Structure 1
């Protein structure tokens, strides 16, 4: 199958829309390939032609959202005061809030391990790129850039998963994460 074929692209777009619609209605583990085919108005063999399982489809469907979250995380200024979350961090949490039900399903106990891993990978890559460009908080010189980026990405995904499960405003969540992050930076700086 040629992924550049407009028909394949349209089919994939329909499948992505279908899985996101179903994920808003039910737990990921209960979504079947048959239900996806019916919702996307394709036959079941077509679903398997494009995706091996629901997890790979849902991860692909959320890719643009994950990329936006990763970009916002990488834009976060490191010198903002502890008492006010930086704008890009608030924007990141607002983007997650806009898709809160999906994130609850994706990162919840019956969610997608592949999605959580993909989110950490994208965040790690964006942060590592930023750190390699010299935009890294002081005091972490003795920690490899990739490991530092992975640590922050894991922490951010963990905070997002906790926050979407428990609720609260995007501003409050961004400020709480920022305070945790800033405290970690200050401890590293000695």
Structure 2
């Protein structure tokens, strides 16, 4: 199978839409390949041509969201005032809030370990790349850039997970995270 074939791309798009739709209605662990095939209106064997399991499919389906979260986090000016979160951070939390049920399913106790790992990996990559261009706060020269980036990625994912899974989806989440994070930035 050629993954660039238009039919293969259409099938993957249908599968991604179906798994995301099902994930908003039920826990990931309860989504079966049979139910997914029925929802996507494809043969069950067709799914296996594209994805080995539901976790791989849902991770691929969320890739655009992961990229958006990673880029927003990397765009945050680390020297912004403590009393107001930077616009990219506020937009990131708005995006998560608009898709809270999906993020709760992905990051919760029965969520996708593969998705959480992919999110952490992408955030770390984006931040490491940013740090490599000189956009790293001063005062951390004694810490490798990739370790610094991994620390920040883990903190952000931890707060997002707590926010969507802990029932505290208030509008002040970005502000709360920024207040916690801002003291870690010298200046």
The two structures share one fold, judged by TM-score above 0.5: yes
Equivalence for 2:12? 12
Q: How far did 1:98 drift? A: 1.4
Specify the alignment match of 1:105 in structure 2.
105
CA–CA separation in structure 1 for the residues paired with 2:139 and 2:176: 21
Identify the residue that residue 169 of structure 2 maps to in structure 1: 168
Is it true that 1:81 corresponds to 2:81 in the alignment?
yes
Is 1:92 aligned to 2:97, yes or no? no
* 1:2 CA displacement: 0.5
1:79-158 paired onto structure 2 within 5 Å: 79-158=79-158
Aligned residue in 2 for 1:59 = 59
Distance in 2, matches of 1:91 and 1:144, equals 28
Per-residue CA deviation, residues 63-90 of structure 1 (Å, 9 max, x unaligned), is 0011011110010011111111011100
- TM superposition shift of 1:42: 0.4
Which residue in 1 is equivalent to 2:159?
159
Query: What is the TM-score with the length of structure 1 in the denominator?
Result: 0.96
RMSD: 0.9
Gaps of 5+ in 2: none
Say how many residue pairs are matched: 186
- The answer on 1:30 being equivalent to 2:34 is no
Contact 2:78 2:185 (C-alpha < 8 Å) held by counterparts: no
Render the CA deviation track for 1:136-176: whole Å, top value 9, x for unaligned.
11111100000000010011000000001223234x11111
Instruction: Show structure 1 runs of 5+ residues with no match.
Output: none
Match of 1:44 in 2: 44
Using the size of structure 2 for normalisation, the TM-score is: 0.97
